[in-house]
Amino acid sequence: MGAGVAKKGGGGGRRGRRRRGGAPMSEINVTPFIDVMLVLLIIFMVAAPMLTVGVPVQLPETAANALPTEQEEPLAITMTADGKLLIQKNEISPDELIPKLTAIAAERTSDKIFLRADGSIPYARVAEVMGALSKGGFNNIGLVTDAGGPSLDGG
């Protein structure tokens, strides 16, 4: 790879370039490392946009910081502006919500769930879904918002 042994002797076409006999070369070839790093960079650049939940929702903006991540994949409920209700990316009817959540809660170790509701949905409808989430076994409800919005301190 980058280590070799220089031959002893001064004959032939190598005049003026003498090394000590049998000394190993101490040069490191970094080209393979750079190639691997560039391939990994491309893989992560392509894969990163695919890691988000893909339902388009206009989230309200707040000044709150993001929640820390956990080891188990977070469960997300989405409420769209046109009244659709989705678990992750699967659309369900409102009367199926509690039975499906109960079944999901029985298989999960965490009771954390994220609620993504469009900003145009009335608060009463969001509160109804939050009550259904609690009844389905998920008491740790996080409301998802976009960062950088208005805050009460005028900032």
Q: Supply the range of the domain harboring residue 83.
A: 75-144
Residue with tokens 């005049």: 15
Distance of CA 77 to the CA centre of its chain: 17
Judge whether 48 lies within some domain: no
Judge whether 31 lies within some domain: no
113: helix, coil or strand? strand
Judge whether 115 lies within some domain: yes
pLDDT at 15: 56
Judge whether 155 lies within some domain: no
Judge whether 134 lies within some domain: yes
CATH number of the structural domain spanning residue 129: 3.30.420.270
Total domains present in the chain: 1
pLDDT at 69: 59
Q: How does pLDDT run across 119-132, given as a tens digit for each residue? A: 888 889 989 998 99
User: Cα separation of 13 and 10, whole Å?
Assistant: 8
Q: How does pLDDT run across 59-107, given as a tens digit for each residue? A: 777 777 766 655 667 788 899 888 889 888 888 888 888 899 888 888 8
Judge whether 21 lies within some domain: no
Residue with tokens 């956990």: 70
